[in-house]
Amino acid sequence: MVYTEFGNTGKMVSALGFGAMRLPLRELGEKTIVDYDKAVPLLHKAFDLGVNYIDTAPYYCRNDSETAVGMAIKGRRDKVYVSTKNPLENNSAADWRKRLEASLRKMDTDYIDFYHIWGLNLEAFRNTFDIKGGPVVEAQKALDEGLIKHLSFSFHDDAANMIPIIDSGYFTSVLCQYNLLDRSNEDAIAYAKSKGMGTVIMGPVGGGRLGAPSPQIQSMLGRKVESTAEMALRFVLGNPNVNIALSGMENIEMLTENAKVASIEGVLTAEELQKVQMMLEENIRLSELYCTGCKYCLPCPQEINIPLVFSNMNAHRVYGLTNHAREEYAKLKKPMADRTENWEKEMGADASHCIECGQCESKCPQHLSIIQQLKDTHAAIG
């Protein structure tokens, strides 16, 4: 296992982190809980392979992930760095403290190494966390008491909004998304690293999208790569500003494959990384020939989610992620009159419901032939 110095903490962390959000589950009466008989040995195997950073959260795995993590770290607490999270459900310092204490109890531990403000965005940071008498006060108190060793944050906001949060000086590390298909946080990750922060990446395989076979992605290096997921992980770990790639692993096969990649010194050479980045830029250019995702074409009178339809088409046409594209496209449902009560309104209808009214084409700044491309998409992945 490759290890790197985690920002200015002085701690050496494994390149692969274990995301405990997909632990094996089982039915217990009417409840679904973590299958501890499978989950704990899986975590132990990860530790034996050199993984020393584990990330969990109160609501993962039907609210049961923290319990499983607590069981797994028994007898190994001083060899593993534990990360969990506290959601900003309100601006109450007392409530923030209660959630912290609940996590400590569930994991049966005296302290948390890296404690994240969960899903922090700039608005919540300014108006909910960093206010007089708010959670920031309790966070500092928990640090002083040693209940948490380091304060961190996970991030899903616009990339530019990460900068002022970093500059606040409150945080030791950041957890954010970054992968072959989404490089929007790349500059912010570099900025965090330059400020002495540890950097942890969620979604290194694109939430599973990059787990599907793609000859286009696997051939990016010009040499043999076993799988698309391996190429995705190599890309993330090849970024010198990344400390940890966090992977939600649910079985031994996934764990051993990822650990193998994370044990390669110099995962990508500088020349290889540049080559991959050039190919990605070309892929972005190709995908933008079809749709930039600006959403000017919306709303569609038939409730077709045109940008999402074309995003799935680009996954198929540009990246070769055809199975994933078909699965995601199949989730698009019917217009309002035909919906089931559980249908998610924001997803929209699929391309087959186009009546060729032309409203979208009159609003498209790219002057795309949207009607024809909707037909092409449905024929290809419908």
Calculate mean pLDDT across residues 26-49: 94
CA dihedral 157, 167, 135, 105 (to 10 degrees): 80
Per-residue confidence (pLDDT) for residue 343, from 0 to 100 = 43
* CA quadruple 48, 53, 56, 57: dihedral, nearest 10: 160
What percentage of residues in the chain have a pLDDT greater than 90? 58
In degrees and rounded to multiples of 5, residue 310 shows phi and psi of: -75, -30
Element (H, E) at 31: strand 31-34
Least confident of 134-148, 230-244, 275-289, 354-368: 275-289
Q: How confident is the model at residue 342 (pLDDT cuts 50, 70, 90)?
A: very low
Greater model confidence, 182 or 209:
182
Q: What is the pLDDT of residue 234?
A: 81
The confidence score (pLDDT) of residue 339 equals 47
The tokens for 371 are: 């009607």
Banded model confidence at residue 246, pLDDT cuts 50, 70, 90: very high
Q: What is the pLDDT of residues 253-309, one digit of tens each?
A: 989 988 988 887 766 666 666 666 665 565 555 555 557 677 889 889 998 989 889
Is pLDDT above 70 for 123?
A: yes
Mean pLDDT, residues 167-195 taken together: 93
- CATH number corresponding to 3-269: 3.20.20.100
At residue 349, the pLDDT reads 87
As a whole number of angstroms, the distance between CA 360 and CA 48 comes to 55
What integer pLDDT is reported at residue 285 of this predicted model? 54
For 243-255, give one letter per residue: b (16+ CB within 10 A) or e: bbbbbbbbeeebb
Question: According to the model, what pLDDT value does residue 29 have?
Answer: 86
CATH 3.20.20.100 residue spans of the chain: 3-269
Average confidence (pLDDT) over 5-29: 94
Please give the pLDDT value at position 184: 86
Average pLDDT along the chain = 86
Q: Is 347 exposed, middle or buried (0-12, 13-18, 19+ CB in 10 A)?
A: middle
- Is residue 97 within 8 A of residue 59, CB to CB? The reply is no
Q: Average pLDDT of 111-117?
A: 98
Which ranges constitute the DSSP H helices of 17-170?
Answer: 36-48, 60-63, 65-72, 93-107, 122-124, 135-145, 162-167
Nearest-angstrom CA–CA distance, 235 and 228: 11
Between 266 and 176, the higher pLDDT residue: 176
State pTM to two decimals: 0.74
Highest mean pLDDT among 137-141, 154-158, 225-229: 137-141
Residue 341 banded pLDDT, cuts 50, 70, 90: very low
What count of other Cβ atoms lies within 10 Å of the Cβ of residue 140? Answer: 12
Distance CA 354, CA 215 (A): 32
What is the distance between the alpha carbons of residues 375 and 298, in angstroms, rounded to a whole number? 17
Q: Which residues are CB-contacts of 25 (< 8 A; sequence separation ≥ 6)?
A: 32, 33, 34, 35, 61, 62
Report whether 249 contacts 22 (CB < 8 A): yes
Per-residue pLDDT tens for 43-95?
999 999 999 999 999 999 989 999 999 999 999 999 999 999 999 999 999 99
Read off the tokens for 89. Answer: 């459900």
| Residues in Cβ contact with 219 at an 8 Å cutoff, skipping those fewer than 6 apart | 225
Are 39 and 252 in contact by the 8 Å Cβ rule? The answer is no
Q: Which residue has the higher pLDDT, 186 or 221?
A: 186
Quick one: pLDDT at residue 345?
46
Residue 84 confidence (pLDDT):
98
- Per-residue pLDDT, 238: 83
Q: Hey, what amino acid is at 351?
A: A
Cα separation, 138 vs 98, in Å, equals: 10
